[in-house]
Amino acid sequence: MSAITADLVPQQDVTYGRSPAVHFVTDVWVLTKRSLARIRREPETLADVTIQPVLFILMFAYVFGGAIGLPGHGSYHEYLIGGMLGMGLAQTAPGVATALVTDMSTGVIDRFRSLPMSRWAVLVARSFSELMTQLIATAVVVCVGLAIGWRVHTNAPDVIAALALALLFGYAFTWAGVCLGMTLRSPEAAQQTGFLIFLPLTFISSAFVPTQGMPGWLQPVAEWNPMSALAAACRHLFGNPNPAASIHAWPMQHPELAVVCWAVGMLVVFAPLAVHLYRRKALG
C-alpha cells in the first residue's frame, strides 16, 4: 500500500478490510472485557454498588422506616425497594466518570487514539461494562429486598418490565456520567462531583419518602425528578404501595411512559454530548 515502507505485519494476522461495523463490535467487545476483567480481579471495586445499597436498605427499613408514614398505610419495606432500585443504578454514574478520568489522565486513552481502532468504542464499551455493574446492583437490591419482606404482587411480565425500565434508565444515566467524566480533570473531582449531583437527585424524590410530606415548593421538583418516576413505575408494576398514584403531576400519572421519555431524552442529549466532549478533550 505504501510505497515507502512495506507494511511489516503478516497479512494473515490482520483483520483490515473487514467492515467498519465488525471492527466496531470487536473493539467494543475487547474493551468491555477489559473493564469486566478488573471487576473479576478486584471485586471490592463493586463495594459502592453492592454494599452501599444494602446499608441504605437496612438503614431505611429498620432505622428511618418506622418514622415514615405512608399515605394509605402500606408496608414501608415494600415501598422502599422500588426507590432503591433507582438509587442503586444512579449510584454507578460517579464510578463511570472516575474510570474515564483515570484513563484520560494515565494516557490510556491517548494510546487507544493512536491505534487504528474505532473512535467511540471506548465510550460505548464503558457504558456496556457499566450496564453489567448495574445488573449486579439490581440483583443485590432484589435479593436484600426479598430478605426484608418485600414481595411482588403482580405477574412475571410486569416484573420484567419494571426491571427493564430500571436498566434502561440506568443505561441512559450512565451517559450523563460519561459526560461528567469528560469535563473533569482528576478522578477525585469526578468522585466528589458525582456524589454532589447524585445525592440530591435521589433524596429530593419519592425514592425513600412520599413527596406528599415535602414543603409545597419542593413537591413539584420531586414529582418531576426522574428518580420519582422510576420509583413510581416500579412500585406500580410490582403491585407495591404507590402513594404517588394520587398526585396529579403528569409523570406520577404515567410513570412508565415518563421513565421511557426521561431515558430517551438523556440518551439523545448525553450520548452525542459525550462523543462531542470526548472529541474535543481528546484533540486538546
Q: Which is nearer to other proteins, 112 or 120 (CB)?
A: 112
Orientation of helix 76-90 relative to helix 121-147, angle to 10°: 160
For residue 40, the minimal CB distance to other proteins (Å) is 9
- Contact yes or no for 140/88 (Cβ under 8 A): yes
- Contact yes or no for 260/168 (Cβ under 8 A): yes
For residue 18, the minimal CB distance to other proteins (Å) is 9
Alpha carbons 174 and 128: distance in angstroms, whole number: 9
Q: Which is nearer to other proteins, 47 or 115 (CB)?
A: 115
Alpha carbons 279 and 284: distance in angstroms, whole number: 8
- Contact yes or no for 152/62 (Cβ under 8 A): no
Which residues contact other proteins (rule: CB under 8 A)? 1-5, 7-10, 12-16, 23, 26-27, 30-31, 33-34, 37-38, 41-42, 106-108, 110-117, 282-284
For residue 207, the minimal CB distance to other proteins (Å) is 32
Of 102, 103, 98, the C-alpha closest to 133 is: 98
Alpha carbons 199 and 255: distance in angstroms, whole number: 22
Q: Which is nearer to other proteins, 123 or 201 (CB)?
A: 123
Q: Which is nearer to other proteins, 273 or 282 (CB)?
A: 282
Q: Which is nearer to other proteins, 21 or 63 (CB)?
A: 21
For residue 71, the minimal CB distance to other proteins (Å) is 48
Q: Grid cell 467487545 — which residue?
A: 29
Alpha carbons 275 and 284: distance in angstroms, whole number: 14
Backbone angles phi, psi at 243, to 5 degrees: -60, -20
For residue 190, the minimal CB distance to other proteins (Å) is 17
Q: Which is nearer to other proteins, 9 or 156 (CB)?
A: 9
Alpha carbons 72 and 9: distance in angstroms, whole number: 71
For residue 120, the minimal CB distance to other proteins (Å) is 13
For residue 29, the minimal CB distance to other proteins (Å) is 9
Q: Grid cell 452525542 — which residue?
A: 272
- Contact yes or no for 126/99 (Cβ under 8 A): yes
